[in-house]
Amino acid sequence: MKRLAVAHDLFDRLAIGLSALCLVHCATTVVVVALLASAGGELLHPAIHRVGLGFAMLLALIGLGRGYLDHRKPGPALLGAAGIAAMAIGLTVPHGMVEAAYTITGVSLVAAAHFLNRRCQTC
pLDDT digits (tens, 9 = 90+) for 76-116: 999 999 999 999 999 999 888 899 899 999 999 999 999 99
Residues of the domain holding 110? 2-121
DSSP state at residue 45: -
Name the pTM for this structure.
0.70
- Residue 81 and residue 60: Cα distance in Å, rounded? 8
Segment 47-56 shows an average pLDDT of 87
Q: What is the domain count for the chain? A: 1
**pLDDT tens digits, residue range 1-12?**
566 666 678 888
Which long-range contacts link 96-104 to residues 24+ away (Cβ below 8 Å)?
97/30, 100/26, 100/27, 100/29, 100/30, 103/22, 103/26, 103/49, 104/23, 104/26, 104/27
Please, are residues 76 and 70 in contact by the beta-carbon 8 Å criterion? no
- Residue 85 and residue 115: Cα distance in Å, rounded? 18
38, pLDDT greater than 60:
no
